[in-house]
Structure 1
Amino acid sequence: MRLSSIAITLGTFALAAGLCLVAAFFTVRLIEDSSTVGVRAELDREALTWASVDANGLQLFVIGTAPNEASRFQALSAAGRVVDTTRIIDEILVNDPSLAPPPRFSMEILRNDNSVQIIGLIPSETNRDRLIEDITRLAGTDAQVSDLLEVADFDNPDGWDDSMRFAIAALRALPRSKISVEADQVSVKAMTDSADAKRRLEADLARRAPKGMGLDMDLSAPRPVITPFTTRFLITPDGARFDACSADTEETRDQIMQAATAAGLRGKTSCTIGLGVPTRDWGDAVAMGIKAMQDLGGDSITFSNADVTLIARMGTAQSDFDRVVGELENDLPDVFDLHAVLPKPPAETPEGPPEFTATLSSEGKVQLRGRLSSEISRNTIESFARARFGSDDVYTGARIDETLPGSWPVRVLAGLEALSKLANGAVTVTPDMVSISGDTGNQKASAEIAGLLSEKLGEAKDFDIAVVYREKLDASLGIPSPQECEAQIVEIIGDRKITFEPGSATLDSSAKEILDDLADLLQLCGDIPLEIQGHTDSQGREIMNQQLSQQRAQSVLEALRNRRVLTASYRARGYGEENPVADNGTEEGREANRRIEFHLIITEPEVAAEPEADPEAAPEAETAPEPATEAEPETDEGAGPPQDSAEDMIDAGDDAPANEEGSSDEQN
């Protein structure tokens, strides 16, 4: 009985303990769940989605990777508002900002005539104050500059400095523009004053774009007024071509180009869209005319405003000519007036067909030869030539022929006016043809000459144009002459100096900026004959000074070559101490003598022989010597320094390495 009582008591205690354990287990689970749910809800309210919660008994673990310390503290505080902070175990990691990928840096510069806005995200390494200062200076003191930039704590990405520098240079020439800058891309959208300004800016920006940087240009210009509104199309044995092409809309241009392509036109051809079209039916009329030329097999058709001149190829059957011309005359809109010519073989004469020739040399000298109809005509034409080309540059060797047709003076004057649009060339006038050939720096010269001759020659509009565009002659591109380049080198260098490391030919790091500026100019100057001269002071041995000056001049040449400057026509020469510009007895004088100079390579021009006398020239005609031609630049390495050229002083640092006779190593 007693044993049974003890067992009951023990069983009761065991049951009670079991019930307590069960109650404790469920209580802990309830606390864990409620704590976890509460903390998660609080973290969600704080938008801390990166953090998560786990519980182990009464302990609450806050885990995750915080973007920064502030976010970590915010998560712990949120958990502490739900449970006792002594229960919170911090297992939060903080993200290393150095491992975060940099953002995509970009900047937009919006400029109009009186304000500039700068918007975007730039790296903290960029000198923001210097950037705003540069933009403010180029925009002018009256312009308002708005700085709306944001900054991120990152280094400049590769290419960012080059893109920034290019954007600032472009902004200087574009008063109405939007420039978008990224590390590897610059986009320029701008309005220019004229088509010539657009071409000049496009060429200049493309030339200055850093290597490896993408450049997207969208430059617009107002449409030009074309007077007369001219299109001239030819089909010759060499193929089909335009001497001039004008259209009033893009649709009209496409219509004309489709007709020309069907007639045999190949390759890239431009057609100017402009104002001044005589009728909205221009595209239809030109397409009809080109089709008629194709049916005839050549030779040319010219539209000058509402006047149309068709010249058939010599030898075309009369029946074919009549049929094609009749169909074209019926199909053309009423506003157009057609004049068609089927040339006949020229009659043979003992003297041959009369001819007048004018030649224009690259030096601007003009020679007039051949036949003119009267003494009054000769005086008039000579006066016109002197007015166009300069009174001292015209030589007349033309004789009088009173049998010439009455339109002869008009044809000669039109040819001379066309010649004045070239840099060099020749014009030949015959009774049936005006032919002009030569070089020009104007891409639209052929179209302008075609418009001029079609207007001046009236119905006798058979002419031939063989004009070649030369970029180096294009003044609109802003390419300076060699002499202008030399003067601009002086201006760019100013009072700045380039230094070398002491006693060596290694350029100092401070040389980068000035060499960058020089490279920008010299890339624009192109292939000019330039000598880079190195000079030293008199300290140290003479032979070592000469060698060091040569090495330093060569270092500058190599630095320019590495900046994509065309240096094939350059030479580097060291003159050592032989050409001082100041007293070597003073520190200031020695500093001035340590220098780099840039000189054009100039030689005396050779005098050409006088021209042979024209056998047809009248005895009383004046004579003049053939224009002198300039010799090729001297490239002999042994030549002395050029004379009468700019001296661009760049400090060359120390003159010679240490040697047993003393040097200037201690000087900087």
Structure 2
Amino acid sequence: MQLSAILYRAGVFVVAALLSVLAARAAVNVVESRSVLAVQEDLIDRNYEWATVLGDGLQVILEGEAPTEASRFRAISSAGRIVDASRVIDNMTVTDSGGIDAPEFAIEILRNDSGISLIGLIPEETDREALQRRIERLADGQPVTDLLETADYPVPENWDSAVDYAVRALDELPRSKISVTSKRVSVDAISDSREEKARLETSLARNAPEGVSLAVAISAPRPVIAPFTTRFSLTEDGAQLTACAVDTPEAERRILAAASELGFAERSNCVQALGSPSRQWGEAVELAIRAVGDLGGGTVTVSDGDISIVAAEGTEQSTFDNVIGELENALPAAFAVTAELPIVVEEGEDGPPQFTATLSPEGSVQLRGRVDSDISNTVAANYASARFGQRNLTMGTRVSDDLPDGWSVRVLAGIEALSELSNGGVTVEPTTVIVRGNTGNPNASADITRLMIDKLGPTADVQIDVTYVEELDPIAGLPTPEECVADIQEATANRKILFEPSSANISADTLGVIDEIAEILKSCAELPLQIAGYTDSQGRETMNLQLSQDRARSVLEALLQRRIPTGTFTAVGFGEENPIADNDTEEGREANRRIEFSLIVPESAGEEETALEQIEADLPEDAQESEAAADDAEAQDDEDTSE
């Protein structure tokens, strides 16, 4: 009995030991599988798919070929964050580093009034001395800062042509930043005017090297106007805003609101510029325009801080004194008023003295009328010859000794005003200078107004009737975006852009169509163009969508290779959408495989707005609500007063 009890107890201990071993092994297996799974998932999340994870009891073994030593170390660190680092066994290898890719060579060139600086990495084979000499010639005595580093790797394809293009572009861009790689040249620059901006964009696009993409961003900053001038006239013929310089959109809104109340209904000709003498410019000009309305007519010229008002003939003295007095007290401190009643000049037997200068559309100039001396006559002839050319000048003047003081100055100012026109005439009288004609400069009226104020003073009576003719404007003469797209659609109406079967490669037989489209775009200004790709319904829808996208992109890249700036272009694939023919026939499927060009047009604002409506539409909503609340309050005050 005692032996049986001992054997029983021993058997129980053996069974318990076996169960413990089995439980321990099961626990180890669970821990091992969970650890391997957790580490593998973490490596995949970190894009280390090249690493595999094995388990050996509680140990986690990492195997695989790491692309770099740094990647191997990061994989070990990643595994050590999931399990205890002492359990991680590194069995990984590292890819042979003998074939390391060359670095990306790049130069960033900065140029401003302080000099030129170069920063970046260039191939060691680059002729650095020759590059330095070219940059120093462009700097023309200004300092050149060379911070370029070199690396001994092969020169990339198109590197030399890209650098050469960048240096040539730098010669035209005194304020610019140019970034250069072997595949792309990016140009950011500032121009002096919209005409200069258009010229530079065209020049840079046409001279871009083959195989190098081009990104151009040129801005034309706000001009500086001196003197800062606005001129408003109210006559029997209506209200005219012949010159309008503003410093803020709010100032423009106030000025146009005051002018509109007196009958000005044309589109805004205001120019936002620098040079305002005061932050209260808009308020001062608004008060001056309203004063002209209170006088019943006249002309006001605001030139910097000087406000000159010439009342209409027949204005009563008491009205004149009251209006000018109220204006002087209401104006901001930075502004002063000079006002006068009109002066009536007595006519002689031959009528008032007069000088006329006319310019024909062919460029012929005639000077006729009175001058005050032989010297003045010679000066006028020489001045006109310098402006228009001696061969185009015909003199028909005569000397008279009964002319008002300052007559010769008025004559020369009239000739200079005539040079702002494409054709027209100038009439100089004792109290008035009249300028009439056509021009291709949309700002000609403002330019002539500032000229006359500068030469004759702010109180001079100058009547300007200048018509802007779009055909005479070299910038407006460029085709409109709509015309450009219409020309492209006409070029592709009977000749399709074809591709190799099931490919985005453009067929060699239709490269001529791409060339013709590129020529059309070279004569167009910047336009938002959509290049849309379509396919037939054969094949899977997702594959067709991707193929149409790739084909549209191929057309965009082909235009870029032809030196067309494509920064505002969009390539979109629509796949099987919008079929234009029956997909059940071969002819229909052929028609549906197409590239379409269209203009990206924002939602239309409807009918053309007046200048004041345009300004008010651009105001923030909170400003409009504040203005509406002010109008309601004013209406309530009027109602309370009437009660």
Compute the TM-score of the two structures, normalised by the length of structure 1. 0.49
Judge which range, 203-212 or 404-413, deviates more: 203-212
- Of 28, 44, 51, the residue aligned with 2:25 is 28
Which residue of the partner structure matches residue 302 of structure 1? 301
- 2:386 paired with 1:360: no
Aligned pairs, number = 458
8 A contact 1:187–1:217 mirrored in 2: no
Q: How does 1:182-193 map to 2 (within 5 A)?
A: 190=189
Instruction: State the Cα distance separating 1:412 from its structure 2 match.
Output: 2.6
Provide closer, same or farther for how the CA distance between residues 237 and 48 of structure 1 changes in structure 2, counting only shifts above 3 A. same
Measured against aligned partners, the alpha-carbon deviations of 1:457-510 in whole angstroms (never above 9, x if no partner) come to 358611122345679978999x9xxxxxxxxxxxxxxxxxxxxxxxxxx89999
Q: Which residue of 1 aligns with 2:197?
A: 202
Give how far 1:25 is off.
1.5
Note if contact 2:243-2:445 (Cα within 8 Å) is conserved in structure 1. yes
Distance in 2 (CA, whole Å) between partners of 1:114 and 1:435 is: 49
Residue type at the aligned position of 2:254: Q
User: How far is the alpha carbon of 1:434 from its aligned partner?
Assistant: 1.0
Asked if the contact 1:436–1:465 (Cα under 8 Å) also holds between the matched residues in 2, the reply is yes
Amino acid in the other structure paired with 2:21: A
After superposition, the C-alpha distances for 1:325-355 in whole angstroms (9 at most, x for unaligned) are 34335556697352323477x9999977654
- Cα contact 1:35–1:83 (8 A) shared by 2: no
Matched residue SS, 1:311: strand
Matched residue, 2:243: 244
1:383 is displaced (CA, Å) by 4.7
Give the direction of change, closer, same or farther, for the CA distance of 1:237–1:189 in structure 2 (3 Å limit): farther
The residue aligned with 2:340 is 340
Q: What is the CA-CA distance between 1:415 and the residue it aligns to?
A: 1.1
CA distance 1:474–1:23, shift in 2 (3 Å): same
Q: Structure 1's 42 and 147: CA in aligned 2 closer, same or farther, altered over 3 A? A: farther
Matches within 5 A, 1:146-185: 146=147, 171-178=170-177
Which amino acid is the alignment partner of residue 391 of structure 2?
D
Contact 1:259–1:291, Cα closer than 8 Å, also in 2: no
For the 8 Å contact 1:439–1:470, the answer to whether it is kept is yes
Structure 1 residues 27 and 294, CA gap change in structure 2 (3 angstroms): same
- Report the Cα offset of residue 310 of structure 1: 2.2
CA distance in 1 between partners of 2:29 and 2:521 (Å)? 72
Given candidates 8, 15, 33, the residue that maps to 1:18 is: 15
Q: Secondary structure at the match of 1:263?
A: helix
- CA pair 178-314 structure 1, distance change in 2 beyond 3 A: same
Distance 1:240 1:171, change over 3 A: farther
8 Å contact 1:36–1:54 — kept in the other structure?
Answer: no
Percent of aligned positions that are identical:
33
Between the aligned partners of 1:328 and 1:53, the Cα distance in structure 2 is 87
Residue 256 of structure 1 and its aligned partner are, at CA, apart by: 6.5
| 1:435 partnered with 2:434 | yes
Structure with more of its chain in helix, by fraction: 2
CA contact (8 A) 2:324 2:339 kept: no
1:328 to 1:36, Cα distance in 2 relative to 1, 3 A: same
Which of the two has higher C-alpha Rg? 1
Letter in 2 for 1:204: R
Structure 2 residue matching 1:465: 3-state secondary structure: strand
CA contact (8 A) 2:58 2:87 kept: no
- The alignment's C-alpha RMSD in Å is 6.6
After TM superposition, the structure 1 = structure 2 runs for residues 76-115 of structure 1, keeping only pairs within 5 Å, are 110-111=110-111, 113-115=115-117
The CA deviation at 1:267 is: 3.5
Change (3 A) 1:39 1:107: farther
The DSSP-based 3-state class of the residue aligned with 1:114 is strand
CA contact (8 A) 2:307 2:337 kept: yes
Q: How does 1:242-641 map to 2 (within 5 A)?
A: 242-245=241-244, 250=247, 254-255=250-251, 258-264=254-260, 267-271=267-271, 273-274=273-274, 277=277, 285-304=284-303, 308-313=307-312, 320-328=319-327, 336=336, 338-342=338-342, 355-372=354-371, 378=377, 381-398=380-397, 405=404, 408-439=407-438, 445-458=444-457, 461-467=460-466
Give the Cα separation in 2 of the matches to 1:367 and 1:63. Answer: 95
Cα distance in 2 for partners of 1:12, 1:178 equals: 92
The structural deviation recorded for 1:358 is 0.9
Give how far 1:290 is off: 1.8
Aligned-partner Cα distance in 2 for 1:324–1:21: 115
Instruction: Give the alignment's TM-score, normalised by structure 2.
Output: 0.50
- Worse-superposed segment, 133-142 or 280-289: 133-142
Structure 1 residue 396: Cα displacement: 1.8
Supply the distance in 1 between the matched residues of 2:253 and 2:299 (Cα, whole angstroms): 16
Give the corresponding residue for 1:570: none
Distance 1:239 1:181 in 2: 57
The alpha-carbon distance between structure 1 residues 472 and 175, as it changes in their structure 2 partners (threshold 3 A), is farther
User: CA 1:341–1:185 in structure 2 vs 1: closer, same or farther (change >3 Å)?
Assistant: farther
User: Which segment is superposed worse, 236-245 or 70-79?
Assistant: 70-79
Secondary structure of 1:437's partner? strand
What SS does structure 2 have at the residue aligned with 1:417? helix
User: Structure 1 residues 352, 186: closer, same or farther in 2, change over 3 A?
Assistant: farther
Change (3 A) 1:231 1:562: same
Q: Would the alpha carbon gap of residues 74 and 263 (structure 1) be closer, same or farther in structure 2, given more than 3 Å must change?
A: closer
- Cα gap change, 1:471/1:84 in structure 2, threshold over 3 Å: closer, same or farther? closer
Unaligned ranges ≥5, structure 2:
96-104, 138-142, 207-212, 479-507, 526-557, 566-643
